[in-house]
Structure 1
Amino acid sequence: MSEHEHAGATRWHRFWNRGGWWKALAVAVVYLVVYEGLGLLLSVPFGHLVDSADILATPESVFFGLALPILLGGIILLLFVWSLGWLREIFGPQPIRGSWWMWIGVALLLIPIALRVVGTNWSAYSVGVALTMLFTGLCIGLAEELVSRGLAVNLLRRAGYGEKAVMLLSSLIFALMHSVNAFTQPLLAVALTVVYTFTFGIMMYLVLRVTGSIIWPMLVHAATDPTTILATGGVDAHGDASGSEGLIALAGDFNSVYVVFAIIAIIFVKGKVFPDRTPSLRKAEVD
């Protein structure tokens, strides 16, 4: 960074440009607080439109109960990224690309999505509910990937971590974001969710690396959550609206496959992005 550029950078930019694991964790925590707070605030004017017994009852229930808090949280995240001047850095080409074997991870993510699409009992939902749920998926993909594969990965790389550590720490942060379910769900279920989301986070990191763009993990994530919810008949449930038991069960078996493939990724992922303490990251050695 030249002396002129250094002088032009604000304290805000210099603080975040140095990166750090604890800053990545702080971003995730603040996002969760904002997201939960938005949910509580929105429940005051729109709570009567949300069916707490069946969130998928109406499009309004899905939108105000699920989509809107995440959408607003995603917009706030985008404004935060913009304030740092990182929009091009996060949404542009990745500074390090992946190896051919990472495409296997992409296929392992897409197969269960296809199984759920085929196996879902679509007649149980109105067109409005299905479309609103798919929109909700886009909101989830934007917000959660922006936190974990966008900001967290960028902050860890800027702190000088190698890609194996970047993958593990960003996936751990992503998994811990789902530990807040402990307030509403049994601890065993939450523990299993944290393990699943950790391995799913590793799979999303592989998508980021091999495609070279955060857009693709956002889209894969956006397709995973709504198809899972619609296939099983509800959020964290298996209700009367569920479809083909065999196909949906087979899709669920891929959760175990992710654990195995995550172990493979931990063994073989390598490389490092070399930060130069400027507003952009340098190119890096590739696996």
Structure 2
Amino acid sequence: MTISPAEPTIVATGLRKSYGDQLVLDGIDLSVPKGTIFSLLGPNGAGKTTAVKILSTLIRADGGKILVAGHDPASDPDAVRAAIGVTGQFSAVDNLLTGEENLVLMGDLHHLGRRRSRLRAGQLLDQFGLVNAGKKVAATYSGGMRRRLDLAMGLVGQPRVVFLDEPTTGLDPRARRDMWQVIRELVSRGITIFLTTQYLEEADQLADRIAVLDHGKVVAEGTADELKRLIPGGHISLRFADPTAFDLATNALRDSSRNDETLTLQVASDGSVRSLRALLGRLEYESIEVADLTIHTPDLDDVFLALTGNASQEHQKEAVR
């Protein structure tokens, strides 16, 4: 089955999975358009890893309908495996082999033949900025280099869908951003990315759509901005240099809350340019000078904690895993 740009590359309807008496996935629905990044978030035990294992043919579902790249993982797992790449939290890189040898080995596993495997290895070393390190053993690689090599190994078979399970865990901020750029470049080439991550900022930066999973159910789905709008609490904080201006502003903005110690007012806002412009216009009309202004809108941390508020405190502290 050929996937057109209008069709979703991954579809799951009523996906269910139990281990004994424990219901892990309770009839979830997922749809991931081609050439996009879809991120699945949730606390420990929410069912994220189980969902990825089912979609990537590692385990079977108990119920529901699934198509990955047009194929059913239950009835045609080989076709699904031929269309996907999987990069896990724990690297599959062999430290005793060079970067090139790791890639050639993956080519052999994909039955590319020796010549095509070497050609593909060279292409990926160049694509991931590892040409100079290609002849060095992987044990000498930095964390960021190992992650890039691991992802490159998952692309040897030229998959249409790549499952990324916490791809930047343990990386420093610069290496993490380098990996983000690599992921964006993959999507620009039409590859579909299914991402699980413990970094909420990562999902915010990368994902076209995000689903929040809690206790085996999808409790919310949408773009990052759509999810943020679900959560109240946005406000504009105004700090004044003297008590006179502070009192004038308090009288002009009667719905605000005041902090007399810091001479600060907090005004409810949806974070839009329109609301900010209206507030500044009101202050200008009243000839009130503001020393500092800051805008707070709910972020994905707020969304995550609000939507998974029934998770344990331990899960909340660990954020997303």
Is the shorter-chain TM-score for this pair beyond 0.5, marking a shared fold?
no
TM-score class, shorter-chain normalisation, is under 0.3
Higher strand residue share: 2
Higher helix residue share: 1
TM-score (norm 2): 0.20
Bigger RCO (CA 8 Å, 6+ sep): 1
Which of 1 and 2 has greater Rg?
2
TM-score (norm 1): 0.22
